[in-house]
Amino acid sequence: MTYFEKLEQEHPDFIGPQYPGGVALCPDEAGYEKVSPCPVNQRIPVPIQADCYACWRRTIPGTEADR
pLDDT at 21 over 60: yes
Least confident of 10-14, 20-24, 50-54: 50-54
Average pLDDT over residues 28-54: 70
DSSP string, 2-64: BHHHHHHHH-GGGBSTTSGGGBSS-TTTTTS-SS---TTTTT----HHHHHHHHHTSBPTTSG
pLDDT for the residue numbered 35: 78
Considering the chain, what percentage of its residues have pLDDT values greater than 90?
A: 33
Question: Cα 36 from chain centroid?
Answer: 8
Total domains present in the chain? 1
Whether residue 23 has pLDDT greater than 80: yes
> Which structural domain, as residue segments, surrounds residue 25?
3-66
